[in-house]
Structure formats: C-alpha cells, structure tokens
Amino acid sequence: MIRCVWALLALLSLLPLLSACNDQPTAIGTDFVVDTADTYVLSSVEVPILTGYENATIQNFNVGRPLFNAGPLYVGRSDEIEAFSILGFATLDNIDTLLIRYDTVTTDNVTRIEAELKEYSIDEVRLKIYAGDYLIGDTNNLQLAFDIREFQVPETLEMAHQDTVRNLTLERIDALVDDGTVQFVEPAIHNFNESIDFNDDSLSVVDLRIEAEELLRRWFERRLSFLQRSFEDKEATALLTEYYGLALQPAAGGTAIRQFLTPTSDRLDDIPFSTLEIVISLPEEGRSETLVIEAGNDGSYVRAPAHEVGETIVLQGGAATRARITTDVSAIPKLSSIAKAELIMTIDRSRSLLGKGRENEINLVAMRLVEEPSFEFSSVFGDITLPENGSDQYVFDALARIVQTWVNGEPGDNFGLLMHIDLTQEVNELSRLVFYGPEAQDQAKRPFLRIFYHTRPF
C-alpha cells in the first residue's frame, strides 16, 4: 500500500513538466525561418549573358610570339590556308679559315689586317630539311609545291627592336616587303613539286640539289665585308645584323601543307638542323671540301582567311587565332552560390580543317583586365577534346568557380573567356576549327551558356 502511495506522488510531480511539453510554440520559435535555398537556372537563350564575341590573333592578347625557333616549320597551301618558312643562317663564320686569306699590313707605323677570298669554285649545293609526321590537306591528293628563294635582310635591321628577326611577325614582314626594306629575291633558285605519302615517317630527310652558286658567292662576299669592317671598328659592326636567309614559299599546284622540324632547346640531340652542304674546290690548294652551314634562326608564318564573328567562330593553329567571349552575369544576385556553369560550343565539321587524324584539345581561360591594354590570364577552366561518340559539341562544364568570381568581384575581373587550341597543338598543328557562331541560322547550334545558382532568403 505504501509503495502505491509513493508511486502516485511521483506521477503527480511530473504533471507540470508534461503539461509544459504540450504548450504552443514560443514567440522566439515562430520567428525562425526554415533554412532553405532556392535554385535557379540562367540560360543564354532566355537572358543575354553571352554579350560579345571577338576573333583575334594571339598577338592581340599580348601572349606568345611568332613561330621562331619553336620546332615546327610549315610550308605549302591547303584550301585558303598557306604557310611559308624562313631558314636563317645567322653567320658564315665557318668559311673564315676555309675561304679567306689574311695578311698583316703596316703603314705609317699602323698595323692592320687585310682579308680577301681565295680562288674557289662551287661544285654542288644541297639543302637538307627534315619532314615531320604532320600534314594537312586533301588526303586524296597531297601535292606539296614550294619555291626556294633568298630572303634578304639589311644589315641595319637589328637596330630597331621590333624588326629583329626573332620578333618579325607576318604583318611586319608584309610591311617591310611593301616598303622595300626586306625582299624575297627573284627568281627562285629551286622549285619543288611532289606528291606526299600520307604515311611518311617522322624525320624523313628531304635532300634537294639547288642551283645556288650565285647566291652563295654574294653571301661569301658579304661575310668578307663584315670581317673587314670588324677589323676596323668592332663596336660599329656589333650593331649590324649578319643574317643569311632562305625562304620556302608555297607555289601554284600545291594542295597540302607539310610540317618540317628544327631543333629546340630540349631536342637538340634527336632533331637535326636544316643544312646547306656546299662542295667547294680550292684549285690553289689542289683539294675539295664540303662546307656545312646550319640554319639556327628559323621562322614560320601562316596566312589564314580574315574572319569576323557572325555565323562562325574560328580557332586556327599556327596563325594562333583565338576567340574571346564576353559575358554579363549581373542578373545573378550578389552572394549567390554558383552550383554549376557550362558553355557548349558546336563545331561545323564541314568547314573545319583537321590534320592527319589529330584530335584537338580546346583550352578555355578567363581574362582579367590588369591595366589597359594588358590582361591577366587565369588557370585553364577547360581542356576538352571532341567526344568520340559522334557528338559535335564541346562542353566546358567546369566554369562554376570563375562565374562565382565574376558574381562576387569587380567589373574588371570579368573580361571574358579566351578560347584557343591547346598551347602545344597551337604551335605544332595547323588545324582550323570552325564553330557555329551567335548568328548561325540553326539556333540550337549557337554558343550556349547555362548557369545553376542558389540564393538564400535574407
């Protein structure tokens, strides 16, 4: 009985607590907002977030340089693309002991060195260049046609920085040819026109016997003149350019562009230099010698059709044509969280020109204005190869981080996206990738940007 009484008392003591648990929510509880996030999708179809397009060569963005000693050289013509290369022989100093006779003369207690060319004859001249495994053109009719002629550079060219051989762009060469500063000397000293085996191995040598005796005599005289002046005034000759050039220019009848190779700093052992091999007879000495001159200052230049963005957007290797796409994300509220952003570009295979079965990777990088006209480039936000499932779409789906920067940042942080062929391929290949542009007739193939973002109530 006593146990029952104690149990009843314990239960009665708990009643206030049980009653409190059934009270209505307190005021502070009703003031809390449920912690939810709203998700939105912003599409360039409904909202003009893709605001502009621009095609420009690599030089317009202050990155890169001409293809000078970059490894590949391109020669030939395919459709509307043509390429020429210049082999530069920076000096002929290896003739100094073979062909030049020296004498010491003293006049009025002043001693000077005099030099003259020995008697000699040129018996044979061979140009050796080394073909790579890359080519571009009609695989059913691969015809390589080019002319070899002298590329003549004045000795004073080096004095203007923009005109150093290393810095010469295609546009600058055209301007210097127009005003007569430099010239491609006529007539050609050799004409090459042969079909190409599509399966040629890399580094197959192209060995050409050329009629260059007159040209080489001029070069030897020029080297002698340079030496004589250096004996008299070394400081003055230090400002001059000693440069001897051969141009390989596309000729009529060609349907293909071929890559030739020259050494780079990391491949000096496995890729030979282009060479001139000259068999010289010295009658006074009763002997013949083979003089080998290596080309070590080589440049390659690619002409591609001018392009204005409209129905198409073009990326071009070799000519280093890139595309800049500008965006406006002001429709996204500040402090929104970007969940996903993707840019979809559709390639027009019928107007694109690819080389020897290569797949081209496309890089997409963000541009930030540092100080007009200089830009800063972010890390790569896309490194995309065309899918192998037959799709014509390049999908860049890793843009959330850069869009987040645009939403949170200052106007100068968003100077658009720069799209280009992968940097290595941009130098080593000439592929021309043509994408449907903002004015393409088929709207479904136009560039498409889609952004998924979250907002939270405030």
3-state secondary structure 284-332: CCCEEEEEEEECCCCEEEEECCCCCCCCEEEEECCCCEEEEEEECCCCC
* Residue 226 neighbours by CB distance under 10 Å: 17
The better pLDDT of the pair 457, 115 is held by 115
pLDDT digits (tens, 9 = 90+) for 32-48: 445 556 888 988 888 88
State the Cα–Cα distance between residues 42 and 450, nearest whole angstrom.
6
Is the pLDDT at 51 greater than 90, yes or no? no
Token pair for 24:
């209505």
Could you write out the three-class secondary structure of 131-146? EEEEEEECCCCCEEEE
pLDDT tens readout for residues 226-238 = 888 888 777 766 6
Q: Phi/psi at 389 (nearest 5 deg)?
A: -90, 15
Q: Is the pLDDT of residue 117 over 80?
A: yes
Give the model confidence (pLDDT) of 288-314 as tens digits: 999 999 988 888 888 887 777 788 888
Report the C-alpha gap between 296 and 87 in whole angstroms: 8
Tens-place pLDDT, residues 272-285: 889 999 999 999 99
Query: Cα–Cα distance between 131 and 76 in angstroms, integer?
Result: 13
Considering only the C-alpha atoms of the chain, give the largest distance between any 2 of them, rounded to a whole number of Å: 148
b/e per residue 261-294 (b: at least 16 CB within 10 A): bbbeeeeeeeebbbbbebebeeeeeeeeeebebe
Which tens digit of pLDDT belongs to each residue from 3-23?
A: 554 454 454 554 454 454 544
Residue 5 has what pLDDT? 45
Give the Cα separation of 225 and 120 in Å (integer): 17
Q: Give CA–CA dist 319/204, Å, rounded.
A: 25
Tokens representing 184 are: 């491609």
Mean pLDDT score of the chain, rounded to an integer?
79
* Model pLDDT for residues 352-395, shown as the tens digit of each residue: 887 775 666 777 777 765 555 455 555 555 556 666 666 788 88
- Residue listed under structure tokens 């070799």: 318
Candidates 348, 347, 385, 350; CA nearest to 364 is 385
User: 329: closest CA among 309, 343, 315, 311?
Assistant: 343
Length of the chain: 458
Neighbours of 71 (CB within 10 A): 20
pLDDT score at 161: 45
**Joined tokens for residue 91:** 């000096």
Q: Stretch 208-228: mean pLDDT, rounded?
A: 93
Work out the pLDDT band at 170, boundaries 50, 70, 90.
confident
Q: How many CB atoms lie within 10 A of CB 376?
A: 13
